[in-house]
A and B are shown apart, each in its own frame.
Chain A
Amino acid sequence: MDRAAAASTPLIVIEHLHKHYDTDAGPQPVLRDVSLRIEAGEFVAVMGPSGSGKSTFMNILGCLDVASSGRYLLQGNDTARLSGDELARLRNRFIGFVFQGFNLLPRATLLDNVALPLLYAGLPAHSREERARELLARVGLERYAGYLPSRISGGQQQRVAIARALVNSPKLVLADEPTGNLDSATSHEIMRLIAGLNAEHGTTVVLVTHEADVARFGKRVIHFVDGMVDSDQIAGATPASRALEASP
């Protein structure tokens, strides 16, 4: 991977990000002063115990949630300045989501599930179907195109979800515990698919997991503890070599 070319414009720049939830007991901090950069083409695994803020971090990265303070620049765009519809457009064209619970629409066929982002992108019906079939073929599930999600296995559902995440050719794929509901053999299969995306197409991948052997697929591992970046290291390198932004 040619890191030098992409380094001039980082895909993601996060500066002094804070996030707290308002509860009856007062504001509850979830993220505390997080700062980091992710270059285009990276494969980042985010780890940490439950409640460490890694899921909230992912939701903010995915423009599903907004920070309480701090800056989040996605390819140079300040996301705090974008309207709800502009964020929706960003999620549609720029980001692909893979969730732990697959999150397929239960009453839509696999083909319709994969084609749904294209509907919101405004593509005509025939090109939606053509593109969705192409993606289903890529994850090897073409022959189940007319099935409902409930008729296929969990691993297959996750592959459909990946096909849906990729259908608009996103620059960034966010995977939140994508193997959390799968057995280890299937987990490996899914992880090879995700790693292949990064290796073959240069798609930036940010992956949240608490399983060490899943995180091992990442080229860079960030640890969250208590809403702060605890460590940030290139896989196989010594700790702290990449933790430049974490402690200014």
Chain B
Amino acid sequence: MIAGMLREAWSAMGANRLRTFLTMLGLVIGVGAVVLMMAIGQGAQTLVREAVATMGSNLFIVLSGGTTAGGARTGSGTAPTLTLADAEAIGELPSVAAVAPTQYGSAQLVYGAANWNTQVMGVTPSYLEVREWRLVAGQPFTEADVRAVARVALLGQTVVKQMFGDEDPVDKTVRIRNSPYLVLGVLAAKGQSFDGRDQDDTVLVPLTTAQRKLYGSSFPGTVRFMMVKALSEEAMPRAERAIDALLRARHRIPPDGEADFTIRNLSAVADVQAQTTRVMSILLGAVASVSLVVGGIGIMNIMLVSVTERTREIGIRMAIGARRRDVLLQFLLESLIVSVIGCLIGVILGVAAALLVSRVTQMTVVVTAVAIGLAFLVAAAVGVFFGFYPARKAADLKPIEALRYQ
């Protein structure tokens, strides 16, 4: 019965191809727009997620405080209030997985005829763990290198590209501020951070080497900031409170006094970024959905015309035994078929457009099965919803009036 009706609906649509195509067009554009917009939105979310992942997860940054000299206050990280002993104490907290005290600055690098100015960070071996950063060649430096104040370095991908080209930098010697450093290894590419910095444009050296040989601190044993990795996302609030209490105790600051350090939750910053892109992609989807509704109204419009035009046909069908629901089903099926085929074409066009956009603009687009499934569901719903009124109008015709209609 349904199969026969489907065949009927199909041939009715085939009888007026141009009109059927025009009816579909609104929905094709609507579905295409939804698929494209969701792909772009998903792409942006993926970018943010990847940037956040390269930064490392469950991170705090603990900065030393500022100084106040003659009423003028300097910014965070300028006063030498954080010590290596603080870092070690934090590392022993149960909610903390690892801590990486860091000293940074910039320095000129020379290798043969090439030279390059970059950020040189003094770190401990745990830094790689905290940042979830792998090596692609060579070895990391060790605690022994830190204790020995060794002149060894790990190079980021951008530095390698600028200084070595295709040459293998491992076991070569670069000059940093005119002192020779042995290149132990090469860091894996991380790409841009979520605030747009090139994370690969960096050199890592042992913390002690940076402090004593590169930046010559007047306060030995202090660091400007440290990165702290909590055990898990759930442990982050606990870790933050524990770090705060610990540092206050070590620095002898009462609980209500002004701290000489700052704790920043990096994941919170990333969350805001992710939230922003999520809202953006919802907005894009909502705008595109409007065109779906417009497409649905187009279907209703044409179906109403079709019902009027085919009044006599409906009369004939009723005279030979079509019940109300037979007529209803016939017109519902027609609008459903139009919707589903329109949706199919829309999905194909939307995916094609997404691929084109990603090729032309280098933008990341992600087409998900969820987006396609959603578009299909909405199209079917639109077909039934906007097809129902015209179908009911057809089914409610009186046989004799429909038959007499000229």
Contact = CB atoms under 8 A, between A and B. Distances in A.
Interface stretch (B117-125, B139-147, B315-323, B346-354): B315-323
A119 B400 contact: no
B324 interface: yes
Contacts of A117: 320-321
Contact of A85 (B312, B313, B319, B324): B324
Interface stretch (A103-111, A136-144, A177-185, A222-230): A103-111
B398 to A, nearest CB: 8
B399 A120 contact: no
Contacts of A64: 318-319, 399-400, 403
A87 B98 CA distance: 83
A116 interface: yes
Interface string B350-361: 000000000000
A120 B326 contact: yes
Contacts of B321: 88-89, 91-93, 117, 120-121, 168
Nearest to A115: B4
A28 interface: no
Contacts of A54: none
A164 interface: yes
Interface in A78-104: 84-85, 88-89, 91-93, 97, 103-104
B400 A59 contact: yes
B12 interface: yes
Bin the interface of chain A by size.
20 to 34
B369 interface: no
**Among B3, B4, B320: residue with most chain A CB under 10 A:** B320
Contacts of A122: 1
Contact of B1 (A62, A103, A119): A119
B11 interface: yes
B14 to A, nearest CB: 8
A213 interface: no
Contact of B323 (A88, A93, A108, A125): A88
Interface in B292-340: 312-313, 316-326
Given A64-B400, A119-B4, A125-B4, A97 B319 contact: yes
Contacts of B318: 64, 88, 91
Nearest to A96: B320
A24 B3 CA distance: 46
Contact of B319 (A91, A107, A125, A168): A91
Most chain B CB inside 10 Å of its own CB: which residue of A59, A85, A93, A120: A120
Contacts of A120: 317, 320-323, 326
A78 B403 CA distance: 24
B12 A107 contact: yes
Interface string A117-134: 101111001001000000
Nearest to B5: A119
B310 to A, nearest CB: 9
B72 interface: no
Nearest to A88: B323
Contacts of A108: 8, 11
A211 interface: no
A166 to B, nearest CB: 11
Nearest to A168: B321
Given A105-B313, A107-B12, A108-B11, A84 B320 contact: no
Size category of the B interface is 20 to 34
Contacts of B18: none
B69 interface: no
Given A119-B4, A120-B326, A164 B320 contact: yes
A189 interface: no
A181 to B, nearest CB: 15
A116 B320 CA distance: 8
Most central of B15, B321, B323 by chain A CB within 10 Å: B321
Nearest to A104: B316
Nearest to A94: B321
Which residue, of A85, A119, A128, A168, has the highest number of chain B Cβ atoms within 10 A? Answer: A119
A65 B315 CA distance: 12
B11 A92 contact: no
Contacts of B322: 88, 120
A116 B319 contact: no
B400 A128 contact: no
Contact of B316 (A85, A93, A103): A103
A92 B316 CA distance: 11
Contacts of A164: 320
A91 B11 contact: no
Contacts of A92: 320-321
12 contacts: A64-B318, A88-B323, A88-B324, A103-B312, A105-B313, A105-B316, A119-B4, A120-B317, A120-B320, A120-B321, A125-B3, A168-B321
Interface of B: 1, 3-5, 8, 11-12, 15, 312-313, 316-326, 399-400, 403
Given A64-B318, A103-B316, 16 more contacts: A59-B400, A64-B319, A64-B399, A84-B324, A85-B325, A88-B323, A91-B321, A91-B399, A92-B320, A97-B319, A103-B403, A108-B11, A120-B317, A120-B326, A125-B4, A164-B320
4 pairs of A and B residues whose beta carbons are closest in the complex: A92-B321, A120-B321, A65-B400, A64-B400
